[in-house]
């Protein structure tokens, strides 16, 4: 793996660099794995632009061969002879060079090693960070020593010393191992943690590390690294909990309106999410077919589409079924459960029973690496921000708009609102459509973190009801606190008990909480018609 690149650099630092000859180019493209790696050991890799460009072309699958002699580099519509560098025409019988995982790792290692000698400190830092992910071998030490002589950045020098220590920790001299053990305690890399545990493991009746003094220092370094990495693990659990809580919040927000404000037990709420997710899938396919250059923007079009698709279905559901069942919770529950089955079967008939894939746009792919063991994915960060924006929008809608005033008035005292001229039937339709539309937004968000299938909503309907009940029926703030709290508690318990036992524990905790405080976190303020 990384050893190949270091052998190359060690040889290059020892004497004049060998030119990248036509024979080298041919073997790197046409040879077997051992031959290709052997040639990489022979050529100079101290910054030769021809070698760098050629290795990158091999990694990017841009090299083609014809017979045993001709090698071409194809980049876009441009074709060049790899040996002469001149423009050429690609023969019809040209074949793509296939590199095994072993060769690809060797090529990546060689390119990373080249960057150690870059004049850009950021490039060197990236190379060191990549190399820290894998312990060095003894033959890599001369290169590290040479780089240390040239490096002027104190932070990079310390990282290089840690990198050097990963090779010295297996040296024959106990003094070198002792020095390496002290340096390894300054690392924050999971690979160093694994290396320390490996050195402290038992080997028969003894230990892998035979020297008692070295073992004591290794144990101290192990505690330091574990303590440093523990912060990343704690932050990861917290972020996972907030991410799950944001998803629960999006799911429960619509239910907080249909159930919390209107008193409708809508068992088809999960299917409103499903409709939003499939609407996102349809928009994705339309962009991929008709607007491929604008594909990265499909999510921006999918958000309103998912909302209106679910809202329309919700409005039709309310006008055709729910309006006849107000005040009859059992009949409402059974009717909406039947509707949920109908909607799931309808989706299976149209899209098939298998899950469909919704791809992230490029700006939602990848993540932010805050620590070596902590990466925050962009798509989950986006869901957290999206959930916050949706909550703010709903709060403004309920508190500051005419529709929100009507909804609150009908919720608190329906007969009095009707006497004041409010069309309560229309308000019910608008409120139910709003709740369904919010579920559609939840489905749109969920499509960015997992596959979309007919059973998507069934995974969240129970949890969303728990969120609404725990937060307080009809209380938007309670829904926010309950969703985020349940998300964090669930992730903490999963790390301790496992996923299944964590769900059982959360349910028991909620039951105990409701027994002590049946009104939830926040009690409904004001009077209702039943008061």
Place of tokens 């006497």: 419
The answer to whether residues 163 and 264 belong to one domain is no
Q: Does residue 312 come out as left (phi exceeding 0), alpha (psi in the -120 to 50 range) or beta?
A: alpha
Exposure class string for 301-331: b at 16+ Cβ within 10 A, else e: bbbebbbebbbebbbebbbebbeebbeeeee
Question: Does 111 fall in a domain?
Answer: yes
Q: Which range is least confidently modeled, 47-56, 60-69, 86-95, 454-463?
A: 47-56
- State mean pLDDT over 289-301: 92
The answer to whether residues 142 and 272 belong to one domain is no
Structure tokens at 368: 């932010």
Question: Does 466 fall in a domain?
Answer: no
Question: Does 517 fall in a domain?
Answer: no
Q: For the chain, what is the mean pLDDT? A: 82
pLDDT digits (tens, 9 = 90+) for 220-233: 999 999 888 888 88
Q: How many structural domains does the chain have? A: 2
Domain boundary among 113, 147, 168: 168
Q: How far apart are CA 123 and CA 408, in angstroms?
A: 58
Domain boundary among 398, 431, 457: 457
The answer to whether residues 268 and 162 belong to one domain is no
- State mean pLDDT over 57-68: 84
Residue numbers of the domain that contains 85: 2-168
> Residue 377: pLDDT above 60?
yes
Tell me what pLDDT residue 229 has: 87
The answer to whether residues 289 and 160 belong to one domain is no
- The pTM of this model reads 0.72
Residue 391, CB-side half-sphere exposure with 13 Å CA sphere: 23
Neighbours of 105 (CB within 10 A): 16
Exposure class string for 488-497: b at 16+ Cβ within 10 A, else e: bbbbbbbeee
Tell me what pLDDT residue 17 has: 42
pLDDT digits (tens, 9 = 90+) for 92-142: 888 888 888 877 877 776 676 667 777 788 888 887 777 777 766 565 676
Selected residue with higher pLDDT from 367 and 42: 367
Question: Does 71 fall in a domain?
Answer: yes
DSSP lists the bridge partners of residue 206 as 203
Question: Does 245 fall in a domain?
Answer: no
- State mean pLDDT over 250-278: 85
pLDDT digits (tens, 9 = 90+) for 384-402: 999 999 999 988 988 888 8
Q: Under 8 Å CB-to-CB from 486, ≥6 apart: which residues?
A: 245, 248, 463, 466, 467, 470, 506, 510
Neighbours of 422 (CB within 10 A): 17
The answer to whether residues 41 and 155 belong to one domain is yes
DSSP lists the bridge partners of residue 203 as 206
pLDDT digits (tens, 9 = 90+) for 23-50: 878 887 888 877 777 776 565 445 555 6
Tell me, letter by letter, the H, E, C secondary structure of 261-319: HCCCCCCCHHHHHHHHHHHHHHHHHHHHHHCHHHHHHHHHHHHHHHHHHHHHHHHHHHH
Nearest to 272 by CA among 287, 299, 250, 243: 250
H or E segment at 95?
A: strand 95-96
Using 50, 70 and 90 to split pLDDT, how confident is the model at 14? very low
Q: Which range is least confidently modeled, 74-78, 103-107, 151-155, 439-443?
A: 103-107
Domain boundary among 168, 203, 237: 168
R_g over Cα of the chain: 31
Question: Does 511 fall in a domain?
Answer: no
Question: Does 278 fall in a domain?
Answer: yes
Question: Does 177 fall in a domain?
Answer: no
Selected residue with higher pLDDT from 274 and 155: 274
Residue 374 backbone dihedrals phi, psi, to 5 degrees: -140, 110
The answer to whether residues 305 and 441 belong to one domain is yes
Percent of the chain surpassing pLDDT 70: 89
């Amino acid at each position: 793996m990384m050893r190949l690149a270091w052998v190359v650099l060690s040889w290059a630092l020892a004497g004049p660099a060998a030119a990248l000859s036509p024979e080298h180019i041919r073997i790197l493209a046409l040879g077997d794995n051992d031959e290709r790696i052997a040639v990489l050991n022979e050529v100079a890799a101290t910054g030769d632009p021809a070698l760098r460009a050629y290795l990158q072309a091999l990694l990017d699958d841009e090299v083609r061969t014809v017979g045993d002699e001709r090698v071409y580099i194809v980049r876009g519509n441009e074709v060049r002879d790899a040996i002469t560098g001149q423009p050429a025409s690609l023969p019809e019988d040209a074949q793509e060079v296939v590199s095994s995982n072993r060769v690809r790792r060797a090529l990546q290692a060689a390119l990373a090693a080249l960057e150690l000698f870059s004049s850009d400190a950021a490039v060197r830092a990236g190379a060191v960070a990549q190399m820290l992910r894998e312990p060095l071998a003894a033959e890599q030490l001369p290169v590290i020593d040479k780089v240390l002589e040239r490096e002027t950045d104190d932070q990079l020098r310390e990282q290089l010393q840690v990198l050097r220590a990963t090779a010295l920790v297996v040296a024959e001299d106990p003094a070198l191992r002792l020095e390496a053990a002290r340096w390894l305690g300054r690392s924050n890399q999971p690979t160093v943690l694994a290396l320390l545990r490996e050195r402290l493991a038992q080997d028969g009746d003894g230990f892998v590390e035979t020297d008692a003094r070295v073992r004591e220092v290794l144990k101290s370094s192990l505690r330091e690294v574990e303590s440093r990495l523990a912060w990343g693990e704690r932050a990861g659990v917290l972020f996972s909990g907030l991410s799950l809580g944001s998803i629960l919040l999006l799911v429960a927000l619509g239910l907080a309106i249909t159930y919390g404000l209107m008193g409708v037990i809508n068992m088809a709420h999960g299917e409103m999410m499903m409709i939003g997710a499939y609407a996102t899938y349809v928009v994705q396919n339309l962009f991929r077919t008709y607007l491929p250059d604008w594909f990265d923007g499909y999510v921006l079009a999918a958000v309103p589409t998912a909302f209106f698709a679910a809202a329309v279905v919700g409005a039709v559901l309310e006008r055709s079924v729910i309006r006849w069942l107000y005040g009859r919770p059992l009949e409402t529950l059974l009717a909406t459960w039947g509707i949920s089955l109908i909607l799931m079967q309808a989706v299976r008939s149209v899209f098939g029973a298998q899950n469909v894939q919704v791809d992230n746009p490029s700006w939602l792919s990848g993540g932010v690496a805050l620590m070596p063991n902590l990466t925050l994915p962009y798509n989950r960060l986006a869901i957290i921000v999206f959930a916050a924006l949706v909550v703010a929008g709903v709060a403004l809608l309920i508190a500051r708009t005419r529709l929100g005033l009507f909804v609150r008035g009908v919720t608190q005292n329906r007969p009095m609102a009707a006497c004041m001229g409010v069309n309560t039937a229309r308000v019910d339709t608008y409120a139910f459509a709003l709740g369904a539309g919010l579920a559609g937004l939840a489905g749109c968000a969920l499509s960015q973190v997992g596959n979309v299938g007919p059973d998507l909503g069934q995974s969240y309907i129970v949890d969303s009801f728990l969120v609404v009940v725990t937060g307080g029926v009809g209380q938007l703030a309670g829904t926010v606190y309950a969703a985020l709290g349940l998300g964090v508690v669930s992730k903490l318990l999963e790390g301790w008990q496992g996923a299944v036992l964590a769900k059982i524990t959360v349910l028991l905790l909620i039951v105990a909480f409701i027994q002590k405080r049946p009104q939830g976190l926040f009690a409904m303020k004001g009077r209702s018609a039943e008061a």
